[in-house]
Amino acid sequence: MAGPAPGRLLRPLATLALALALLVPGPPAVRAGQTPRPAERGPPVRLFTEEELARYGGEEEDRPIYLAVKGVVFDVTAGKEFYGRGAPYNALAGKDATRGVAKMSLDPADLTHDTTGLTAEELKSLDDVFTKVYKAKYPIVGYTARRILNEDGSPNLDFKPEDQPHFDLKDEF
């Protein structure tokens, strides 16, 4: 009786090694003159459909408040006075409001992921707010499914993060 082909045995071992490498934290990178910090772990990152994201719109007191910009879902609960029920920016909560952030608009027509037709100035504003406000202040809890799934929910095999508008692979993953 012949044993399994060598390639068939190595594939599960390689998968296990990769899984262990991802689960076991390595030593933090330290630059000259810096003291090492322990690795910080946040909640697991997940994909959100529009319907799932809408459940985190700030209406329920015991639920976190999420909003997405550029397909990145942030937990903005710490800014409840801005994003909670009745707060000035509550219209942004529970959705991907990329266009609204770019245009500094709370108009319901602008509360969408769609960046089609934005001016260069609006796109620069979007990148600035994305980096200097949301990424600087709020933890990332997931991504919108729209970024990597087709409309029917199947995987978008052509998805390339680096080809997405206003997406910076090194900063987001």
**CATH number of the structural domain spanning residue 101:** 3.10.120.10
Q: Distance between CA 71 and CA 144 in Å, rounded? A: 5
**pLDDT tens digits, 39-54:** 455 555 688 999 999 9
Assigned domain for 110 exists: yes
At residue 142, the 3 state secondary structure works out as strand
Q: What pLDDT is attached to residue 10? A: 38
At residue 22, the 3 state secondary structure works out as helix
Q: What pLDDT is attached to residue 34? A: 52
Q: Which domain holds residue 133?
A: 47-160
Assigned domain for 76 exists: yes
At residue 63, the 3 state secondary structure works out as coil
Stretches in the chain below the pLDDT threshold 70: 1-45, 147-148, 150-151, 153, 156, 158-173
Q: Distance between CA 67 and CA 140 in Å, rounded? A: 10
Q: What pLDDT is attached to residue 2? A: 55
Assigned domain for 10 exists: no
Q: What pLDDT is attached to residue 154? A: 75
Assigned domain for 151 exists: yes
Domains: count for the chain: 1
Contacts of 41 (CB under 8 A, 6+ apart): none
Assigned domain for 88 exists: yes
Assigned domain for 173 exists: no
Assigned domain for 7 exists: no
Assigned domain for 140 exists: yes
Q: Distance between CA 55 and CA 50 in Å, rounded? A: 9
Q: Distance between CA 131 and CA 71 in Å, rounded? A: 13
